[in-house]
């Protein structure tokens, strides 16, 4: 494949187009960047009940928004629709809902909301997306901006005791943004560079970058409980959604196989610490995660056989991270029980046994 060629196929959470210059995976990051803000500067003011978050549990980028919505207690003001774990080249679909339609938006495919915004919409149909229920048109699918704005623009509607996921201190914030940039480029996206590498050389380069970053994180987290210190932040949310998928899909399916997560002692303990906090592990559906990656990526897994493993019981074992002290909630409180209708399917998560 030449440097000029672009290929189109159903790619996880991006819905379609990515380029392969020199056979190295490059994520298409052109999103609808319209924002929902307090002042409504982009035409979309924060308004309880007006918007619907569409977020597939299978997708790590969407899983971020599910976690943040729950941590901040926005369930009563921002409804959620959850597509099924698989999609075709056109769109994510609501095949888990009665009649195959989202019960609020009334659509079968998320693509319909994108076409309501732009009938000629040319890019991938991605999750997470926020849809305006007034006209059924997507407002934004910019996953990074979505969780940032839920934390900073929706504060009037946060639950009492909600954690502060974005530090107010400018220096802390600058450090966190630097950490998140490295986590995104080297880890969140790094596993995809391994999985979709178009040559041995591209794969080996991506593999080296990924594990260099994971070793850096092992070192950073050996002296602090969370990425930024004593309390959870957005940075932890962003790293968690990759770590929780690592052994189930990235280690084998994407050939990220120097070490399993369970063989990286600091990261494994850190991931268990987060998993056992309300708002993190209780959003994770391991069966949907595996179904997505192993069924949709037919070029990587042409048989579409979904692995039975790995054993998930370890996620509930003691992690020992309390020895660092601190308070995960930064002086706030944990979110309450998962809302009815939003629970992970029994048996798909060790927190929700059959």
Alpha carbons within 13 angstroms on the beta-carbon side of residue 229 total 11
Alpha carbons within 13 angstroms on the beta-carbon side of residue 176 total 24
- Listed in sequence order, the residues at least 6 apart from 59 whose beta carbon sits closer than 8 Å to its beta carbon are 12, 13, 127, 128, 292
Binding-site positions = 92
Pick the catalytic residue from 18, 25, 51, 192.
192
CA–CA separation, 217 and 40 (whole Å) = 38
Residue 26: count of CB within 10 angstroms of its CB: 15
Residue 287: count of CB within 10 angstroms of its CB: 17
Nearest CA to 12 among 61, 55, 53, 52? 61
Contact 319, 262 (CB under 8 A): no
Is position 192 annotated as part of the catalytic site?
yes
CA–CA separation, 133 and 119 (whole Å) = 17
CA–CA separation, 62 and 191 (whole Å) = 16
CA distances from 175 to 53, 152, 172, 328 (A): 29, 18, 5, 19
Binding-site positions for glutathione = 92
CA distances from 18 to 28, 197, 320 (A): 5, 12, 41
CA–CA separation, 108 and 110 (whole Å) = 7
Pick the catalytic residue from 59, 203, 207, 293.
59
Is position 256 annotated as part of the catalytic site?
no
Catalytic residues: 59, 192
């Amino acid at each position: 494949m030449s440097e000029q060629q672009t290929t189109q196929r159903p790619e996880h959470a991006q819905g379609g187009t990515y380029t392969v210059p020199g056979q190295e995976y490059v994520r298409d990051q052109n999103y609808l960047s319209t924002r929902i803000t307090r002042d409504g500067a982009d035409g979309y003011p924060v308004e309880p009940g007006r918007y619907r978050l569409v977020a597939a549990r299978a997708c790590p980028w969407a899983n971020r928004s599910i976690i943040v919505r729950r941590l901040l207690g926005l369930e009563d003001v921002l409804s959620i629709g959850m597509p099924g774990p698989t999609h075709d080249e056109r769109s994510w679909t609501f095949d888990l809902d009665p009649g195959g339609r989202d019960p609020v938006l009334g659509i079968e495919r998320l693509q319909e909301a994108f076409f309501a915004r732009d009938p000629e919409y040319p890019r991938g149909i991605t999750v997470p997306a926020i849809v305006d229920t007034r006209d059924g048109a997507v407002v934004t699918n910019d996953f990074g901006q979505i969780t940032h704005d839920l934390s900073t623009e929706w504060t009037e509607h946060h639950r009492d005791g909600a954690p502060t996921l974005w530090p107010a201190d400018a220096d802390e914030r600058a450090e966190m943004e630097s950490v998140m940039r490295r986590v995104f480029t080297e880890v969140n996206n790094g596993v995809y560079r391994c999985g979709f590498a178009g040559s041995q050389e591209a794969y080996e380069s991506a593999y080296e970058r990924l594990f260099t970053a994971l070793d850096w994180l092992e070192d950073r987290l050996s002296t602090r409980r969370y990425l930024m210190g004593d309390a959870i932040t957005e940075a932890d949310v962003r790293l968690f959604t990759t770590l929780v998928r690592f052994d189930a899909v990235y280690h084998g399916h994407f050939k990220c196989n120097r070490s399993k997560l369970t063989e990286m002692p600091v990261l494994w303990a850190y991931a268990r610490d987060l998993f056992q906090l309300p708002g993190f592990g209780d959003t994770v559906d391991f069966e949907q995660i595996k179904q997505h990656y192993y069924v949709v990526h037919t070029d990587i897994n042409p048989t579409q056989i979904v692995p039975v493993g790995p054993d998930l019981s370890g996620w509930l074992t003691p992690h020992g991270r309390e020895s660092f002290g601190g308070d995960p909630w930064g002086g706030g409180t944990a979110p309450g029980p998962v809302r009815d209708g939003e629970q992970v399917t029994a048996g798909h998560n060790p927190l929700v046994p059959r």
